[in-house]
Chain A
Amino acid sequence: MKTNKTAIRYAINTIALVILMIITFVIGGVDNNTIKLKIVPSVWQCCYLIIMAASLNLVLGFLGQLSLGHCGFMAVGAYTAALVSLAFQRAGVYDEKKGAAFMLVMIVSILAAGILSAVLGLLVGIPALRLKGDYLAIITLGFGMIIVNLINNIPFCGQQGLSQGTASSALYANGLGFSNDEKKGYMYVAVLAVILCMALMFMFVRSKFGRIICAIRDNEIAASASGIDVSYYKVLTFVFSAFFAGIAGALYSCCNAALATTSFAFTNGSILNSVFIVVMVVVGGMGSLTGSIVAAIGMFLLNYAIKNGTWVAALPGFLQNVFTYPMLVYSIALIIVIMFRPHGILGTSEFALCDIPKWPRMVASHFHKSDKEAEG
């Protein structure tokens, strides 16, 4: 009976993913300006945000350690992918952004981004993870800043970003940076990357490793007393998470014409900073990968509505200013979520597609239970 149920779950998920891929291909084939200029860039952005949120969740939600330098790894991934693809282009492996050779280069640069990030994660993780809690947060913040600082001082990366650096005239014309048409054509790459990354992360979390890191999160001393090599598993998770941050960075460099290190700093005006990623993870639920996916998409849509919505212009002056700096809104949302649900909206629970019909009953029973608790 049980295996039967699992098989049905897998079948439903597979069908859903196949439908998703078909939709992606169909959208990729349609020639429509709204799709090309609005939906496709949004999908790319969602894709790297999802991977970033989920990979940070491995560290923050499952391992229970706050890392504030996650965007540093993303920066490493983005620069690696851009430089690797540029190198191949200079070597004459591909001229135009199509054909098997380019596909191969793209795969190689995305993987290279992940691997270099993971190596850096190892270098950062071994010393940093001897600490925990507050100190770990600060030290990862420091590492994130050092990474960005170093990239700034590497001559061929340059402070102005790759579009104006000495190495390349424009990423847009040569390397991975896609034009709008190419973004549309290659959208399936981004979606496929998300599916693969999420599948790997789910497998990690549900494996022996996942159970071990949850044990470390719940009680480190008890975990080490039961024979778990705590620092080994901490570093492993950190490296694993950095790998995916690197891949997210590669996707970022695919869908942006230029790279600049300011986009990966700890604080900046745009949404791509380490704190925004923390907001996504906490809102979705610390310890819920599906929650991270939903939160990443939701926060992206919210941000999109704030940035592009006409309703903002209709607001009175002060409120309009508030929405010009949307981190204010997100931070307040973060504080409110933490106040009322310290582990995020979904907490540590995951949801599955085939459970959706059961949701009304679950919600009802939840309220029933809390009523009883109130009475008791």
Chain B
Amino acid sequence: MSTFIQFIITGLRLGSVYALIALGYTMVYGIIKLINFAHGDFIMVGGYTLYFVIPIMMALGLPGWTAVIFAIVVCACVGMLVELLAYRPVRKRGTNLTALITAIAMSFVLENLAQAIPAIGPDPRIPYILFSKTFSIGGVSISEATIITVVVSAMIMIVLYLFTQKTRIGRAMRCVAEDKEAAIVMGINVNRIIITTFAIGAGLAAVASLMYISQYPKVITTMGATLGIYAFVAAVLGGIGSLPGAVLGGLIIGIVQSGANTYISSSMSDTFVYLILIIVLLIKPAGILGKNVGEKV
């Protein structure tokens, strides 16, 4: 029984991280219909920023987690740069297919650029471990990091939901996602909304990277690729373009992965994640909470 509870808790924790990343995917996809492959690498950028900034913050006498503010700023800047330098010019000329290829290329650029910069380097780094306390309740151990991860993610999701529903920018975002031309007619600056979306998505990735490295204290240049793919699977599973869907998908993927790790074999957990993706795409291509929109001729 305690193994079961333990696996659920680990799953929730992993799932909250995936959900945070999946939110970024889903927001960008909702607006420009592009799978932002580079989103995974924003996590890597966030991870390295934290690795460098946490010691500085500690030296200044501030708590280590305040470094996440810097990480959010850096990630948001990288996100906006990627959109300005690569996606926007390609979107103007090419098709969906070329935009997708650009996104994949951009992910490789970020990853390999990080490897090429000597200060970051190809070797994994061990960041300072935050939230290392552990509580034990009836044979089940819960770490401080788990509680913080789950609570903070839940809070961020609620705030984000309210933001998209109630604020002016949030409403404009939903408007652009629904009908770009109509949004232009209504006087919405579409390009500004797109770039804001990129900044918010990348900022969420920075928060996710704080959660992730407090769980697995290792920063490596390729960490974004695998994390990004899981989060993407989560976004598709929940229904890409839908915020609650991304959260649901993230939690499902987290729990499935931790279940596969606990009960089957850790080397097969990837296969299970992809199997879920394939089954969902075949049964309900729009995802669990997604709306099935027919193509207009």
Tell me whether A221 is interfacial, beta carbon within 8 Å: yes
Structural contact, B282 and A338, CB atoms closer than 8 A: no
Q: Which residue of A lies closest to B93 (CB)?
A: A342
Structural contact, B281 and A135, CB atoms closer than 8 A: yes
Structural contact, A327 and B267, CB atoms closer than 8 A: no
In the complex, chain A residues 53-87 whose Cβ is within 8 Å of any chain B Cβ: 64, 66, 68
A55 to B116, CA, bound (A): 32
Q: Which residue of A lies closest to B221 (CB)?
A: A325
On chain B, the number of residues with a Cβ less than 8 Å from chain A's Cβ atoms is: 47
A246 to B105, CA, bound (A): 25
Q: How far is the CB of A323 from chain B (nearest CB, A)?
A: 8
Return the contact of A153 from the options B105, B268, B297 (Cβ within 8 A): B268
Contacts of A338 in B (CB 8 A): 90, 94, 98, 101-102, 105
Interface readout for A125-137 with B: 1 if CB under 8 Å, 0 if not? 0011011011101
A24 to B209, CA, bound (A): 54
Tell me whether B115 is interfacial, beta carbon within 8 Å: yes
Structural contact, A66 and B101, CB atoms closer than 8 A: yes
A66 to B99, CA, bound (A): 11
Contacts of B34 in A (CB 8 A): 134
Tell me whether A303 is interfacial, beta carbon within 8 Å: no
Q: Which residue of B lies closest to A340 (CB)?
A: B93
Structural contact, A328 and B108, CB atoms closer than 8 A: yes
Contacts of A127 in B (CB 8 A): 278, 282
Structural contact, A221 and B297, CB atoms closer than 8 A: yes
In the complex, chain A residues 314-334 whose Cβ is within 8 Å of any chain B Cβ: 317-318, 321-322, 324-325, 327-328, 330-332, 334
Query: Which residue numbers of B lie inside 8 Å of A, CB to CB?
Result: 33-35, 86, 89-90, 93-98, 100-102, 104-106, 108-109, 111-113, 115-118, 122, 222, 225, 229, 232-233, 236, 267-268, 270-271, 274-275, 277-278, 281-282, 285, 295, 297
Given A130-B282, A279-B105, A328-B113, 13 new contacts (CB under 8 A): A133-B100, A134-B100, A137-B35, A142-B278, A145-B270, A278-B101, A278-B104, A282-B101, A321-B117, A331-B108, A338-B105, A342-B95, A342-B98
Q: List 5 A-B contacts (CB under 8 A).
A: A135-B236, A139-B278, A318-B118, A339-B86, A342-B95
Query: Which residue numbers of A lie inside 8 Å of B, CB to CB?
Result: 64, 66, 68, 127-128, 130-131, 133-135, 137-139, 141-143, 145-146, 149-150, 152-153, 221, 266-267, 275, 278-279, 282, 317-318, 321-322, 324-325, 327-328, 330-332, 334-335, 338-339, 342
